[in-house]
Amino acid sequence: MSDDSIRVHLPDGSSLDLDEGATPADAAAAIGPGLARDAVAARVNGELWDLDRELPDGAEVEIVTRTDEDEDALYVLRHSAAHVLATAVRDLWPEAGIGFGPPVDDGFYYDFDVPEPFTPEDLEEIEARMEEVVDEDFPFERSEVSREEARELFSDDPLKLERLEEIPEDETISVYRDGPFLDLCRGPHVPDTGEIENFRLTSAAGAYWRGDESNQMLQRIYGTAFYSDDALEEHLERIEEAKKRDHRKLGQELGLFSIQEEVGPGLVHWHPKGARIQKQLRDWLEDQLDERGYEFVYTPHITSEELLDRSGHLEAYREMMYPPMEVEGEREPYRLKPMNCPMHTLIFDSETRSYRDLPIRLSEIANVYRHERSGTLHGMLRVRMLTMDDAHVFCTPEQIEAEIADMLDLVDLVMNTFGFDYRYDLATRPEERIGEEAVWDQAEDALEGALEDAAGGYEVDEGGGAFYGPKIDIKFEDALGRDWQGATIQLDFVLPERFELEYIGSDNSPHRPVMIHRAILGTMERFVGGLIEHFGGAFPLWLAPEQVRVLPITDDEIEGAREVADELGDAGLRVSVDSQSDTLSYRIREAELEKIPYTLVVGQRELEAGTVAVRARGAEDKQVEMSVQEFLDRARQQVESRALEPY
């Protein structure tokens, strides 16, 4: 190795000697022409770099190639596609202010300050201009500039100037140019715009600058990009399927829920059919909890601000709480409760507890209220009134792992009942937290032990814990492969300390209990919204708000159809009779559109034979004739087993 060369280290443990000033592109070429041809970026000492940056001596270098299987490769491609989008918009709307253009899950977006919202026709024009930018093969050129130079370069763009002032003094300021477009950006990017062949703009929407509703409204354009056309087409098909399954669309079509402007955004009205689904979930879950030794409690919807101050929630969640309510004659203001835990601690503390009483498991499916920003609200998935299946377990330190193991077992039951694949994330201490470090060490060690014993594998979410303790988050995957936040299990040594909770140990001395916060479904709103999209509104029989619809062929069979419905209803099924004057085929189609699991057709022949013609949802024209009792037995078995598909 000469004085004018450098040595870099490769993932397989080998080293590579290169000329001083060499780049990742040079390293790729030295390894082989195929790698050089496929390279789009590099990981240098664990950080993503452009291919044309100068490598330091001794660097760990891994070449990132064009593939849809590598998240870093897609990140770089989509980041670059966002710049191509901005290039096109600036060309078509020269006065447009430029916000942010990050890659996100499944795509990218860019925010623009323009006078009017973008129309579908605008998106078509922008996409056509993007294709021209791609054809130009503009290189992505990185430059490092001083703060003053950056201010001059972006003097006509207040959004960029605002972002510039937030960059720390000791951080390098870089800009990227592709053809006529210059942007303040950390990078990295693909070598040139020609790499971005397979992309599509998907939608446009309003978005507040920096996500703050007190700021100006910008116009956001969403898109996606892949290295292969097949992957792009598959993704676009998933988007179309997701639109069909959108819980807001299906919720309205199936009469499940609504959000009324007269009441306010983010406040869900559960209609009778949606409320029936929630009731089924509540009853099933509470039966499971009853068997596991939980006790049920109910607490007020408002609380004194003093209680939330004592618990630490006021300091940590003030921005998410509704403002204080001054009550005449009361010294302390009140708040709508944003969570149940402080009240459950008071129930625990309401009497003397012995170690023989522990664990004490308190459960409450309760409404809590959080002032989510209007720009973040989304149907049932992000709301302001949340129906939480909340519980708090008070136990000894020695009981922690057994309690968490039981909770994980319940999670497994729930996930398997709905056919979800899922994973565990261990969320560790956040920067903003309360409590001693030694207590956090103890809490994280306890969760790690429980996960290793009960789950067999997990991922670590560094800094993702609650302000009072670490937690286990359960992420489940729906029918379209999308991740959802489900159950959460949070270990807390802090609130028992703040509330001075005690139990009398076997040594007749007072001891501090440990508190475990847990929600299995999360919130009813988010979980049911997720179920609507997962099942496409076609709920399994046990959960369907209407399980059976009986259709008489003519008016002559109406009375007989009602007798069949009464027999099924008396046996516990949710059943209706459609005796409208429309044709039978029309009524069958209506039942299919309303996603009724079973339609029973009753004609004169069936009445004489004591049978029904059974049509299962999605079975097209196929129907099976059987006795009413045989259908009832099969339906009962399906409900009791919570089968996901019709027989």
115 domain-assigned: yes
**What is the Cα–Cα distance from 154 to 160, expressed in whole angstroms?**
6
Asked if residue 194 lies in contact with residue 92, where contact means CB atoms within 8 angstroms, the answer is no
467 domain-assigned: yes
Grouping H, G, I as helix, E, B as strand and the rest as coil, residue 456 is: coil
Task: Record the pTM.
Answer: 0.83
Q: Which of 198, 71, 65 is nearest to 134 (CA)?
A: 198
Q: Which of 74, 219, 224 is nearest to 159 (CA)?
A: 219
DSSP 581-604: SS-HHHHHHHHHHTT-SEEEEE-H
Q: Which of the listed residues 65, 81, 98 is the one where a domain comes to its end?
A: 65
In DSSP terms, which residues pair with 257 in a beta bridge? Answer: 270
* Predicted local distance difference test score (pLDDT) of residue 3: 65
Question: Is there a single domain that holds both residue 557 and residue 412?
Answer: no
Question: Is there a single domain that holds both residue 230 and residue 103?
Answer: yes
Question: Is there a single domain that holds both residue 381 and residue 502?
Answer: yes
Question: Is there a single domain that holds both residue 58 and residue 75?
Answer: no
40 domain-assigned: yes
Q: Which of 331, 376, 428, 418 is nearest to 643 (CA)?
A: 418
Question: Is there a single domain that holds both residue 166 and residue 217?
Answer: yes
The tens digit of pLDDT for each residue in 243-267 reads 999 999 999 999 999 999 899 999 9
Grouping H, G, I as helix, E, B as strand and the rest as coil, residue 302 is: strand
Spell out a b/e string for 130-142, using b for 16 or more CB atoms within 10 Å of the CB, else e. beebbebebbbeb
Structural domain total, the chain: 4
257 domain-assigned: no
Question: Is there a single domain that holds both residue 567 and residue 522?
Answer: no
148 domain-assigned: yes
Question: Is there a single domain that holds both residue 464 and residue 446?
Answer: yes
Separate counts of helices (H) and strands (E) for the chain: 20, 32
Question: Is there a single domain that holds both residue 141 and residue 212?
Answer: yes
12 domain-assigned: yes
Question: Is there a single domain that holds both residue 130 and residue 77?
Answer: yes
Question: Is there a single domain that holds both residue 613 and residue 508?
Answer: no
Cα-Cα end-to-end distance for the chain? 72
Q: Which of the listed residues 40, 65, 90 is the one where a domain comes to its end?
A: 65
The tens digit of pLDDT for each residue in 37-84 reads 999 999 999 999 999 999 999 999 999 999 999 999 999 999 999 999
Question: Is there a single domain that holds both residue 200 and residue 180?
Answer: yes
197: tokens are 């062949």
250 domain-assigned: no
CATH code, domain carrying 517: 3.30.930.10
Structural domain of residue 629, as residue ranges?
Answer: 548-641
Question: Is there a single domain that holds both residue 75 and residue 59?
Answer: no
45 domain-assigned: yes
Positions in the chain short of pLDDT 50:
none
- Whether the link from the prior residue into 139 is cis, omega within 30° of 0, is no
CATH code, domain carrying 555: 3.40.50.800
DSSP 165-217: HTS-TTSPEEEEEETTEEEE------SBGGG--EEEEEEEEEEEGGG-TTS-E
Q: Which of the listed residues 535, 560, 595 is the one where a domain comes to its end?
A: 535
| Alpha-helical segments (H) within 103-174 | 120-135, 147-153, 158-165
